[in-house]
Every structure is written in structure tokens, then in C-alpha cells.
Amino acid sequence: MSKKELRQAWRWFGPNDPVSLQDVKQAGAVGIVTALHHVPHGEVWTYEEIMERKNLIEASGLTWDVVESVTIHEEIKTRTGDCEAWIEKYKTSLRNLAQAGLKIITYNFMPVNDWTRTSLDYEMPDGSKALYFNWVDLAVFDIHILQRNNAAAAYPSDVVAQAKERFASYTQEQCDQLAGTVMFGIPGEKKITVESMREKLKRYDHINADVLRSNLVHFLQRITPLCDELGLQLAIHPDDPPYDILGLPRIVKNMDDVRFILQSVPNKSNGVCFCTGSFGAHPGNDLPAMAREIGTRIHFAHLRNTKRDAEGNFFEDDHLAGDTDMYAVMKELLILQQTLPESIPFRPDHGHQMIDDLKKVTNPGYSCIGRLRGLAELRGLQLGILRNT
């Protein structure tokens, strides 16, 4: 009997993505990971719009494997205002996705900001460009540009001193660029301003990690019975980076956090998007051990690698380089895969801007050639492990 492989997928941001569906096919992926990014956060995804996107994907010879993501409204995260009405809208979207035959739903519970970096074009030794996170630059943004109340207290004194010196050396153009990078968000979605971020942060003035965890559990308790009934698989994405930032609590950073989420809401639909880049940016996370413990609750995987320095800054390295032992992680995922009836989809998460893509306008982290390289490396790694076990 042949051994089961993970399913090769590719994130695509819709018809305006510079990487076409034809490009995706040539890269070797068979499934698409996408969302209706034009729908405002929290509003209903109609069955008609879902099917329009699905039909477009299938017309190219690909399949829509994973929804990433159905974004959660901030009033659900804060459990304020029209929270219950937003949850009902979310449930309507889930019903419509299930009706369209979509089963894996990725989401995150990061307050205000999604993934956060301080540079989108960090130059690698080979001349390619990578995404980068630097604590001093984040402090420059937080203390001097955003001017969050008491922001300096969140950083070590040496970082505060370096941020003051660096801010003094930055031009207005550099400050604007840094702010735009920190607040970049998801390609295709509306950008926020410094002023709007200040307003959004105010909603979390009295929300600590315990309150945010409680709000997540409330949300999951309200939607998982429906997901169980519909046969959906929820996959929470870890925090990126896996640290409290901008005064906001992060509650999906490590195995303790994941264990709490899975034990608090044990429904079979409640699961994890195993992102090796997000979990791997924290030195305390043992990713192969995490994959073993989470086991069948891994509903989807993002495979990428990061390289940290002594201060905790990190850049996104080649998929088979960096601090995460990708061989060991892939081996654990493949051991798990042999126990499951359906293939776990994975995608090569992010990639360096390289070769001809250096001359093109691309979505940061989502240019074609860097991900093509990553997918090829990961496919080869998978085949090598399967042939030798």
C-alpha cells in the first residue's frame, strides 16, 4: 500500500493577485487556499459569492481546499457591542461555506493587527528579499510614531534607548514606511492608519490575556456545535509573532496556549493551523513535540522557517534552513497523516522575493518564485521521508 502524502496547496489572494492560477499550477500545487478578502470583516459571505470564487478556481483545474480566513470582528474578540449578532453572521457564513462543500476554515484571534513585521525587504546574502521583525524598530513605531500611552514600559531599557536614537536618525519618509509596514495587514484588505490603530487599541485597554482567552472560548463554544454538525474543521492560526506586542495580549503563542484552547472546547471541529513560522519564532517552542501532542487536531499546516538572533529579532529564512528542524516536523506530520482518511493540506508559507520577482510588484511574502522554491523543497523532503520509512 502506498503511503499517504500531505496535500500541496497555495495561498492565492483572488483575481487581483499578481500570481495567477495558471502560475499556481505550474508551481506544482493542486489546492488553493483563499478567502473573500473584499468582504468587510464580520459581514456574511453569501453562498453566491463563495460559489463564484469556487467555480473560478475549479475552471483552472485546481480545487479550493482551505478557507483562509473568515476574519473575526473585533467586537467578538472584545465581547462588546453587537458581539452576539456578529457571531450569528459568522455562523451564517459557515453554513454557506459548508453548503459550497468547503470544510477547512482557518482564522486567528490576534487583536487589532494581523501578522506583524518591521521590514518587508530585508536583504539576504544571496540578494533575495525576506520579511523581518526587529524589536527596536517596533519600539520606534510604538513609542515615537503611534505614541501609545506608557509604551516604553513594554520594552527593555536598552531597546528604549536604541529606539530613541534610531527615531532621531529616521527621515519622515522612513517613519512613514515603517508605520505602513507594521500595519500592512493582509493583501487585498483595507489599510489602517496610525489614528485608526490608536482607536482600535483603546478597545483593549481593559482586556488582558485571561479576558481574551475567555472571549475566544465563548466564541468557540457558540460555533463549534454547528461546525461539528456541518462537518467543518476549524484551524486557529498562532500569533505572529508569538509575543505580546503594542500592549496587546497574544494567546496562541505556545503549547500551553494550544492545550488550553483544545481542552476548553473539546469539540472535534476545534483544531489548529500548525504554522511552523509563527510557533518557530519563539525559542521555547519544540515544534516536533508540539506536532506530536496536537496530533489529529492539526487541520492545516503552514510550513516556513525563521532565523532568530540573540535579541529575539528574526528574518524568514529558506524553508529548509532557519531554527526549525523542518525534517523533524515533516516526519511528525507524515506519521500523523498515515492515521487519517483525508490528506492534511499544507502550503509553503511565505517565500523570498527573488530572481525575476525582484523586478515585479508582489504581495510581501507571497511572490511566486520564492514559494515555488519552498514548495519544491518541501515536496522533495516529503518524498524522501516517505521512501525511507
Q: Which residues are catalytic?
A: 237, 275, 302, 349-350, 366
Asked if 74 and 200 count as a contact pair (C-beta separation under 8 A), the reply is yes
Half-sphere exposure at residue 36, Cβ-oriented, CA atoms within 13 angstroms: 21
**To 10 degrees, what angle do helices 326-337 and 368-387 make?**
60
Strands 298-303 and 233-237: unpaired
Residues 6 or more apart in contact with residue 233 via CB below 8 angstroms: 103, 104, 105, 227, 269, 271, 299, 300
SS (H, E, C) the chain: CCCCCCEEEEECCCCCCCCCHHHHHHHCCCEEEECCCCCCCCCCCCHHHHHHHHHHHHHCCCEEEEEECCCCCHHHHHCCCCHHHHHHHHHHHHHHHHHCCCCEEEEECCCCCCCCCCEEEEECCCCCEEEEECHHHHHHHHHHHCCCCCHHHHCCHHHHHHHHHHHHHCCHHHHHHHHHHHCCCCCCCCCCCHHHHHHHHHCCCCCCHHHHHHHHHHHHHHHHHHHHHHCCEEEEECCCCCCCECCECCCCCCHHHHHHHHHHCCCCCEEEEEEHHHHHCCCCCCHHHHHHHHHHHEEEEEECEEEECCCCCEEEECCCCCCCCHHHHHHHHHHHHCCCCCCCEEEECCCCECHHHHHCCCCCCCCHHHHHHHHHHHHHHHHHHHHCC
